[in-house]
Structure 1
Amino acid sequence: MKTPVHLNALRAFEASARHRSFALAAQELHVTPAAVGQLVRTLEDWLGMPLFLRNHRGRARLVPTEAAEQALPDIRAGLVQMAQGLRRLQAQSARRTLTVTVSPAFAAQWLLPRLDRFQTAWPETDVRLETSLKPVDFVAQQVDIGVRYGAGVWPGLVAERLLGEEVYPVCAPALLARARPLDSPADLLEQTLIHDLSMEGHPGFPSWADWMRQAGLDHATGRRAIQINNSAAVLQAAAEGQGIALARSVMARDDLQAGRLVRLCPQIRLPSRLAYHVVYRPECAGQPMIQAFRDWLLAEAAAWQASAAPALEPPQEPTP
């Protein structure tokens, strides 16, 4: 059995039977009585049977036939269920999934510990994190907004500076206790140095060689090395006492404040020429959820920097 094409005819029939009046049904449905009558006749034609008792002049007395009375409870239940389904769909459409791309390390060390504050402020928005070390195609992968680390220029994207940083050596308190002294840069060369390869080959990404050069130890290398291509894993290895890591301040600050890591040689300052940037497509800048997440990121970054202890606070950008 085929389903009626015009479900409005069912609504017109149910309302007419309930009110016993085309006119009252028309008021409820915001149409004319003639339109209600036509919808009912369309349903009767489709069924091949009358739905209301009529006198000899063909005028409906709007008394449902026995068959119509028996069918009305099921029809009403069906209309109620459809209305509930539509309300559920409307509720789902009111929610919004915001797709955010970030590096795995930035997600683990900075974004995830703070994300609940955005979700509290915007409870109707679901956040989907796409973590990748490589830049993604915002259009092909339907990404709304992201945070990228670099010089601030990515074709086709607006980039707003979020967080600058510096790099410095860190180690576990236990390693510091057993490996003293570690007061001078030369002392570090006797230890295992943990290298961050997450952006290996990227112009401007600071390395142990850059830090040693800043410390006046040109061409110096450590006795042993561990190489890891994930900044969060670099810090984890250092926290476990496997060696001394060259940490990025945005990644390391929480571990320093919690006492899981200790900063070494604070007299050597090496600001990075790279920074974290909020990125999004220019044509999407006016979308409310993208704008809300951008504003929230910038506010969180400002609060994070304002709360930094002076010894951990990133210095100003280096002069070229």
Structure 2
Amino acid sequence: MNTPAYLNALRAFEAAARHLSFSAAAAELHVTSAAVGQQVRTLESWLGVPLFTRASSGTARLVLTEVARQALPDIREGFDRLRLGVARLKEGALGTGLTVTVSPAFAAKWLLPRIEHFQRAHPQTDVLLDTNLRPVDFIAEGMDIGVRYGAGHWPGLVATPLMDEDLYPVCAPTYPLLEQGRLPLERLAEATLIHDLSMAGDPQYPTWRTWLDASGFPGVNAEHGLRINNSAAVLQAAIDGQGLALGRSVMLRDDLRAGRLVRPFGEASRPLAFAYYIVHRPEVADLAKVKAFREWLLAQAASDRQP
């Protein structure tokens, strides 16, 4: 087997092993499922060992053989090193691209209003921003760096703390129930509650029910209101006067400063167990473009903490 065919077969095997599916690997590699299967069979023939068996349930799901399972980490590391080598070569060119993955809400409410400062400081770096509600696969999707919200532990990624957060209610300054910028407690039950469903899958994340109980309002109904699965859209609904939102301080900062939102119960807030983290693969930590963006993010966060 010549070198290009050998590398293509290994690439097909690695993708199929990661997805445990020829069809999913084919979608990633932009080829047919039959082509992936043929590449894997060619590799098995050349090696003289089987790499997959079919799942006993009769589904299309693949099962790695023991020898394939043991070899897979080294093959993945090899492809990672190749990608890193190509990235270093590209850094020698006049222009270089930086792929950044963040959630749509973080992009809209924090990153995009500030990204011009990075582009002015690094005009040779073209930023490709990928906004996703789901955590992306940094290797499969070619991501250099990103910002994630959570507890700080993601397998295979280095996580650097960026910003902590507090949680508190906000609304538009023109919200009809306000009296001199505050919401009378006796009128809280009349307010429309805007629910953020973007973290609904995590039972530790506070909800309106959590906040009401902790604030001494167990009798207020927390089941009614408007439900939205995007944090930026939740805040926009509050800005538009649709009701009260439980806002996260990082997302809120610019809207509060601009007067688009107010805190109808004063300065009381609840710290969140989750925070924002800069994440990247360990092998790209020393790339100049990754270091530059990481340091810029940290500087922006430090600036935001200033009074």
Same fold (TM over 0.5): yes
Q: Deviations over 1:174-226 (max 9, x none)?
A: 115x5448545553221100000111122432211221122022364247400
2:205 maps to 1:215: no
TM-score (norm 1): 0.64
Q: What's 1:101 paired with?
A: 101
Native 8 Å contact 1:168 1:266 kept in 2: no
Native 8 Å contact 2:178 2:184 kept in 1: no
Q: Deviations over 1:256-293 (max 9, x none)?
A: 11111111212532111110000000111111110110
| Distance in 2, Cα, partners of 1:124 & 1:135 | 28
- For residue 165 of structure 2, what is the amino acid of its counterpart? E
Name the SS of the counterpart of 2:294 in structure 1. Answer: helix
Q: What's 1:196 paired with?
A: 196
Name the SS of the counterpart of 1:271 in structure 2. Answer: strand
Q: What's 1:142 paired with?
A: 142
TM-score (norm 2): 0.67
- For residue 276 of structure 1, what is the amino acid of its counterpart? Y
| Distance in 1, Cα, partners of 2:245 & 2:129 | 27
Cα-Cα RMSD: 2.0
Name the SS of the counterpart of 1:164 in structure 2. Answer: strand
1:133 to 1:185, Cα distance in 2 relative to 1, 3 A: farther
| Distance in 2, Cα, partners of 1:204 & 1:161 | 19
Matches within 5 A, 1:21-170: 93-170=93-170
Aligned residues: 217
Native 8 Å contact 1:196 1:228 kept in 2: yes
Q: 206-215 vs 139-148, which deviates more?
A: 206-215
Larger radius of gyration: 1
Identity of aligned residues (%): 54
| Distance in 2, Cα, partners of 1:116 & 1:104 | 17
| Distance in 2, Cα, partners of 1:282 & 1:134 | 21
2:245 maps to 1:248: no
| Distance in 2, Cα, partners of 1:94 & 1:233 | 39
Q: What's 2:74 paired with?
A: none
| Distance in 1, Cα, partners of 2:199 & 2:111 | 19
1:283 to 1:185, Cα distance in 2 relative to 1, 3 A: farther
1:93 to 1:274, Cα distance in 2 relative to 1, 3 A: same
- For residue 300 of structure 1, what is the amino acid of its counterpart? Q
Name the SS of the counterpart of 1:245 in structure 2. Answer: strand
Native 8 Å contact 1:215 1:268 kept in 2: no
Name the SS of the counterpart of 1:212 in structure 2. Answer: helix
| Distance in 2, Cα, partners of 1:179 & 1:304 | 28
Provide structure 1 residue ranges, at least 5 long, that are not aligned to the other structure: 1-89, 308-320
Name the SS of the counterpart of 1:294 in structure 2. Answer: helix
Q: What's 2:9 paired with?
A: none
Q: What's 1:297 paired with?
A: 297
Name the SS of the counterpart of 1:128 in structure 2. Answer: strand
Report the alpha carbon displacement of residue 93 of structure 1 after superposing the two structures with TM.
3.1
1:184 to 1:154, Cα distance in 2 relative to 1, 3 A: farther
